[in-house]
């Protein structure tokens, strides 16, 4: 009989996420070990507990999930976890703080269902937030020419440089989006438009982002009204609105959930996986 | 196959109650997600995790239990939980902070096993504490004429007003119980006498509460000696003492435990239940 | 059907040990209830939750594990747990803070596999730490003549007195080990040499502890190089090095893990066990 599947939950918040706990259980995990207030500096002892308790041949039955509301904190925890591994002494680990990876993957997969991303033109609004950065990366990795739009041009440049460092062949342009006029110019002529803004910030009024030239698909990842792209409803799921295929945050939620569960199950297939944006996106492709 | 039964434990204390955890497991819960230090202001994110993770048709397999030592804190958490629900996006929830609801239900059911509560006269000592208030409410709801006795007359009045607001037909009298003489007068001629006092506070010496006229049943909910009604033993379970049927805290403990487990199981029958004093009392009736 | 096996984990650290959690699950525990930041003064309520929730006939299906990095804190928690029990109202409890009991048991069992401990001469370096004290006790209980070596002679005397108080027949000598010369003298002519020092402290260079007269077995419990007995590798498991059978920390790790799991399983056989150094050592004998 194989060992029971144990998922160790590292959460940076003071309460471990119930969301992540329920999804883990629904993905077939036998035992969940939740840890709140996890910091990079207290990860080592916890990871030792994961890697020194089972035979190497059974280490694929233990895994780590990194969640919590702060994506940067989650990234720091992931770096600390990876630094603790050595040789075969490792377990698989998944990062999905604030749902950023599964949300970005679901958004790009929604677009890819309607547009061939290779060679397509795409714009990402609020591109410098944790979800926005990932959407830029995944669109670029899928072959799209991506405009990273941000109120802060310097941060847009930084995001493009960071993605280019991972993907030398990426075609990226940082774009200023400080005003509606600037943003309007930045999205002109794109096939795919994704808004990854913070809750309740309107990024573009309806008439400015929807025109004869496109886009073909528009995705707004904001669940709380007002959405960033006026006109899209949170529940839109391939809703056609004046010729544009629209998705809202709830509309991509079903796919996001499927990706999340598939990624958790994948963790228990081997002990050497690190599931971050691209790996989770690849898993998403297979569950479409 | 139906989803696994998940109970999310909201506890206001710094350690989640082991008592509530073990009872949950013995009630058939598959996964327990304990949360300590829960405050009304951090409930929303946790409740979202409960209601946004499963299809509405499976939401009855997730539930929330509110415990901890502070009943007022538990009530505030329950209010915050209910405020977060909307439409069908809800899960069933049970309040039993400090065991107040299951204890009060067990006490009134013990009395009801010997006296027809409709039209009976009852007195509740220490009626303004969390258990006392619930005993007053359940006795009144069962049709008894209830005297709410407290050292503080104003608080006795407040309890009667609060119960009357919920049960307009209730027959309630606030009674001063500042001295043994006052208390003696307040309990004169009652059929049912329940003492819900704090640990180690003697409320009435033996000779004053037991007389020719009654009561028929006396219940003392204090487990730690001295009990409030001198002469009753904590282990008394329908023990006849000079013509009075007596129950102590441990004596009603078996019934309390049965009610607690039945209520937990009930949570998983639908996703729209709120189990507070009266609902838990009703469940208790069916497990008698 | 018998009740589900519940292990309540009391950990003095701010994160409950993942190590202890995984081992508990691999020992067959159905539900783990982890508690961090446990202090002797908050143990009572938690223990009440363990002993007042199940019938006495089912109390052997609930147990307490005391872990965490601080052995003295664990001992204080154990004392508080035992004080809360009364009559048959108890559950079995195991102390293995910092792995001290299972490590000491594994070290002495490793030695006993090669030397008849009855009448053997043994020396324990760093004998006043939590593991060292336990090794002294277990060697003495097995009939060896034990030299407890420490840089601090007064603490070595205190350890010998504490062990003698439990084992009046023990043959113990406190020895000063402030310098290499003193330590060399202390280990001269012993059959068994155990080093229980802190990480990275070299206690004896190779040429001084290994000579024509012995020892027959040398065990170094330090996993992080440099080990205390130069020449031993952490992975040594009955490795013969110039006539001495050598064990390192990882080399005794397999046995330590077997003892840990057997002890957890033993907890669920009755509700009245207290598993500390000697009881865990006895369990270790049966799993050899």
Q: Residue C209 burial by CB count (10 A; 0-12/13-18/19+): exposed, middle or buried?
A: buried
Nearest to B19 among C3, C35, C53 (CB): C53
Total residues belonging to chain B: 288
CA distance B124 to chain C (A): 26
Map residue B85 onto helix, strand or coil.
coil
Among A25, A60, A50, residue whose Cα is nearest residue A273: A60
Q: What is the reported pLDDT for C212?
A: 62
- C-alpha distances out from residue A61 to A79, A86, B209, Å: 21, 18, 64
pLDDT tens track for B196-222:
976 556 677 877 787 767 799 999 998
DSSP B229: B
Q: What is the reported pLDDT for A79?
A: 98
Among A50-59, B179-188, B263-272, which is the least confidently predicted range? B179-188
Name the CA dihedral angle for A142, A148, A149, A154, rounded to a multiple of 10 degrees.
170
| Phi and psi, residue B191, nearest 5° | -90, -35
Among C256, C281, C266, C254, residue whose Cα is nearest residue C7: C266
pLDDT tens track for C22-79:
999 999 999 999 999 999 999 999 999 999 999 999 999 999 999 999 999 999 999 9
Element of type H or E holding B78: helix B71-84
**Cα separation of B67 and C49, whole Å?**
13
Q: What is the reported pLDDT for C157?
A: 96
Q: What is the reported pLDDT for A62?
A: 98
Q: Tokens at residue B235, please?
A: 């282990």
Element of type H or E holding B138: helix B130-141
- C-alpha distances out from residue B275 to B6, B54, B65, B102, B142, Å: 17, 21, 9, 10, 18
DSSP-derived secondary structure for chain A: -PPPPEEEEEESSSS--HHHHHHHHHTT-SEEEEE-S--GGGHHHHHHHHHSSS-GGGGGGEEEEEESS-HHHHHHHHHHHHHH-BTTB--EEEE-GGGHHHHHHHHHHHHHTTS--TT-EEEEETTTSHHHHHHHHHHHHTT-EEEEEES-HHHHHHHHHHHHHH-TT-EEEEEE-SSHHHHHHHHTT-SEEEE-PPTT---B-HHHH-BTTB-SEEEE---SSSPSBTT--TT-EEEEETTEEEE-TTTTHHHHHHHHHHHHHHHTT-S--EE-HHHHHHHHHHH-
**Cα separation of A271 and B54, whole Å?**
28
Which has the higher per-residue pLDDT, C231 or A75? A75
Residue B101 and residue B133 in contact, taking contact as beta carbons nearer than 8 Å: no
Contact C37 B14 (CB under 8 A): yes
Non-local (6+) Cβ contacts of B56 within 8 A are: B88, B89, B271
Residues in C touching B26 (Cβ below 8 Å): 3-4, 53-54
The confidence band for C228, taking pLDDT boundaries of 50, 70 and 90, is confident
- Euclidean distance between the first and the last CA atom of chain B, given in angstroms as a whole number: 32
Burial A80-95 (b: 16+ CB within 10 A, else e): bbeebbeeeebbbbbb
Place of tokens 């147990």: C63
**Cα separation of B251 and B237, whole Å?**
4
Non-local (6+) Cβ contacts of C236 within 8 A are: C220, C246, C247, C248, C251
Q: Which domains, and CATH codes, for chain A?
A: 6-95 (3.40.50.10280), 100-252 (3.40.50.720)
Interface predicted TM-score (ipTM): 0.92
Q: What is the reported pLDDT for A20?
A: 98
pLDDT tens track for B47-83:
999 999 999 999 999 999 999 999 999 999 999 999 9
**Cα separation of A43 and B108, whole Å?**
51
Which segments in chain A show pLDDT lower than 70? 1, 198-202, 212, 288
Q: Residue B88 burial by CB count (10 A; 0-12/13-18/19+): exposed, middle or buried?
A: exposed
Residue A134 and residue A106 in contact, taking contact as beta carbons nearer than 8 Å: no
Q: What is the reported pLDDT for C209?
A: 81
**Cα separation of A2 and A257, whole Å?**
27
Q: What is the reported pLDDT for A210?
A: 79
Chains A and B form CB pairs within 8 A to the count of 53
Contact A4 C25 (CB under 8 A): yes
CA distance C287 to chain A (A): 18
Contact B14 C42 (CB under 8 A): yes
Chains A and C form CB pairs within 8 A to the count of 53
Q: What is the reported pLDDT for C1?
A: 62
Radius of gyration of chain C (CA): 19
Q: What is the reported pLDDT for C8?
A: 98
CA distance C223 to chain B (A): 34
pLDDT tens track for B93-136:
999 999 999 999 999 999 999 999 999 999 999 999 999 999 99
- Report the Cα A192 to chain-centroid distance in Å: 17
Contact C17 A53 (CB under 8 A): no
Contact C22 A6 (CB under 8 A): yes
Residues in A touching B50 (Cβ below 8 Å): 18, 22
pTM of the model: 0.94
Residues in B touching C1 (Cβ below 8 Å): none
Residue to mutate among C35, C48, C53, C65, with most B CBs inside 10 A, is C53
């Amino acid at each position: 009989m194989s060992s029971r599947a144990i998922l160790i939950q590292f959460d940076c918040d003071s309460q471990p996420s119930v969301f992540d706990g329920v999804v883990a259980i629904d993905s077939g995990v036998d035992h969940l070990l939740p840890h709140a207030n996890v910091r990079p500096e207290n990860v080592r002892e916890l990871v030792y507990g994961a890697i020194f308790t089972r035979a190497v041949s059974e280490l694929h039955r233990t895994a780590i999930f990194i969640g919590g509301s702060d994506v940067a904190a989650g990234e720091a925890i992931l770096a600390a976890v990876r630094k603790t591994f050595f040789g075969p002494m490792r377990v698989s680990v998944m990062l999905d703080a604030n749902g950023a990876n599964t949300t970005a993957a679901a958004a790009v997969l929604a677009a890819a269902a309607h547009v061939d991303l290779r060679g397509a033109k795409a714009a990402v609004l609020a591109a410098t937030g944790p979800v926005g950065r990932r959407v830029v990366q995944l669109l670029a990795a899928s072959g799209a020419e991506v405009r990273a739009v941000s109120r802060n041009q310097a941060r847009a440049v930084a995001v493009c440089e960071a993605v280019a460092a991972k993907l030398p062949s990426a075609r990226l342009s940082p774009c200023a989006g400080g005003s509606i006029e600037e943003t309007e110019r930045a999205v002109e002529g794109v096939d795919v438009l994704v808004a990854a803004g913070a809750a309740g910030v309107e990024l573009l009024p309806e008439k400015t982002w929807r025109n004869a030239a496109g886009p073909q698909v528009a995705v707004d990842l904001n669940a709380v009204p007002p959405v960033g792209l006026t006109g899209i409803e949170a529940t839109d799921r391939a809703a056609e609105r004046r010729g544009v295929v629209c998705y809202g945050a709830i509309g991509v939620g079903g796919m996001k959930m499927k990706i999340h569960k598939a990624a958790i199950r994948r963790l228990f297939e081997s002990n050497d996986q690190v599931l971050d944006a691209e790996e989770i996106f690849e898993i998403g492709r297979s569950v479409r």
